[in-house]
Structure 1
Amino acid sequence: MLRSVFEKMIRVYKNPDFKFDKNISSKIILIFAFKMFIDWARGCRLLLFFRVPKFLFLGRGVAFNYLHNIDVGRWVIIGDFVTLGGLGRGRLSIGNGCRIGSFSRVVISTTFNNLGEYITLEDHVAIGDYSSLGGSGGLSIGANTIIGQYFSAHPENHRFDDPGQLIRKQGTTRSPISIGENCWLGAKVTIVAGVTIGDNCIIGAGSLVAKDIPDNSLAVGSPAKVIRNLR
């Protein structure tokens, strides 16, 4: 009974084809249900800030910085010890059905003297554990894109053209990063400022993406190069 109830809920709100593995026992489902209840209860703390959570599930130690500038959709799951930072010119927007892995940082700005732009995660984006997403130059990730652990996106570069100055005093340049819909980025992928990745792309694990990747491409390497068209 409990199995079928949870399967129906997950099919409606997350995955229409979901079915528990036959080796999952009723005990495991009860443990899962209890954990989700605790995470849901943590999400209700947003009521203290006059925000109404829409089935928000929070792990332990989640930090919201500048919550007034953060939008969170329905059925969002945020893992343990995630930091969300909304300080910026634009907003930090997390769409419906998104998942952010434990120990990740999703932060628009880290400085008060030059605010960052925005971070937008469209519906059903999944980010792996230990990831770092910055929004200084702007970052957008399209719907249904899934990303492995240790992902990093850096829409900002330090200048180093003056050898007579410390690098940290030379300022930065910023350019937006855009990742399309229905992409799969493997673990430890890094994307630098100004890069656009098209729709339906796969980026191999460990790749450094320094140039644009067109739609329907499989790209691997450091720097990443397109090795095959997927259509």
Structure 2
Amino acid sequence: MLKEIVNRALMRVRPGKQIAGEVGGLDLMLYLVEQCWNGLRGTVLSLRSKRAAVCFVGRNVRLRFARNIEIGRYATIGDGAILSGLGRNGLRIGARVNIGAYSRLIVGTDVARPGSHIHIGDGCGIGEYSSVGGSGGVSIGRNTIIGQYFSAHPENHNFKDLLRPIREQGTTRMPIGIEEDCWLGARVTVLSGVTIGKGSVIAAGSVITRDVPPFSIVAGVPGRVVGSRRGGDDAGA
């Protein structure tokens, strides 16, 4: 009876998800208590943000510049995550997005030069310990899934002047775009100015330094197109 009730609720929050038969009654009860507490915590925390919503937030989650943060309905934010909306277009997390524990989504860090944006589409998942900077702008399309320790860096330090420390030469900002329905493995790094096309698969540990065509399979440092999900396409150089 309890599983039936939970499964009905899950159909609203996570369509297609059902409690597995091997999950025992006591474990299910403990799970429900934790989720109810996370839901209460998240909904209250969202009152500080741009728009209140029913969402699930773990322990020790911190919001900075919260009025520039929008958390979508039924989103989940893991323990210890830090969210900062310091930027022109803020931080937007879509509906049913899952942000892994101890991740950092930081639009900007300098109040004298705020960042641009981080926009994450509905249904995305980002693994634990990931770091996304939004100084030059990062957009992630719907239903994209990303593994642990992901990092996105939409700016580069300038270093041409040999007479000045690099830290004093400023940065060049360029946006990153990851289109919908991509899969990026663990420890993928994406650098500024890169667009990853729709439906692409990026192997774990890859460093993406240039644009990726749609439906590509990419691996390596720097990342190279090694195949295509469209069977007839040739791999790029």
Map of 1:5 onto structure 2: 5
Match of 1:10, SS state, is helix
Query: Residues 50, 132 of structure 1: CA spacing in aligned structure 2 closer, same or farther, 3 A cutoff?
Result: closer
Alpha-carbon offset, residue 163 of structure 1: 1.5
Moved more, 42-51 or 210-219: 42-51
Alpha-carbon offset, residue 155 of structure 1: 0.1
C-alpha distance in 2 between matches for 1:8 and 1:193: 43
Moved more, 40-49 or 78-87: 40-49
C-alpha distance in 1 between matches for 2:68 and 2:49: 13
**What's the TM-score, normalizing by structure 1?**
0.95
Is residue 85 of structure 1 aligned with residue 84 of structure 2?
A: yes
Deviations 1:169-207 (A, max 9, x none): 111001000001011100000000000001101100000
C-alpha distance in 1 between matches for 2:85 and 2:112: 15
Map of 1:15 onto structure 2: 15
Map of 1:55 onto structure 2: 54
Alpha-carbon offset, residue 45 of structure 1: 2.5
Map of 2:36 onto structure 1: 37
Q: Which runs of 5+ in 2 are unaligned?
A: 231-237
Alpha-carbon offset, residue 46 of structure 1: 3.1
Deviations 1:125-171 (A, max 9, x none): 11100000110000000000010000000000001111211110111
Query: Residues 227, 56 of structure 1: CA spacing in aligned structure 2 closer, same or farther, 3 A cutoff?
Result: same
State the AA in 2 paired with 1:128: G
Q: Which runs of 5+ in 1 are unaligned?
A: none
C-alpha distance in 2 between matches for 1:47 and 1:227: 43
The count of aligned residue pairs is: 230
C-alpha distance in 1 between matches for 2:15 and 2:47: 31
**What's the TM-score, normalizing by structure 2?**
0.93
Deviations 1:201-230 (A, max 9, x none): 110000000010010011011111111110
Is residue 162 of structure 1 aligned with residue 155 of structure 2?
A: no
C-alpha distance in 1 between matches for 2:46 and 2:70: 14
C-alpha distance in 2 between matches for 1:87 and 1:74: 22
C-alpha distance in 2 between matches for 1:4 and 1:25: 13
Is residue 133 of structure 1 aligned with residue 132 of structure 2?
A: yes
Deviations 1:21-77 (A, max 9, x none): 221111111111000011012123237648763221110001110111111110010
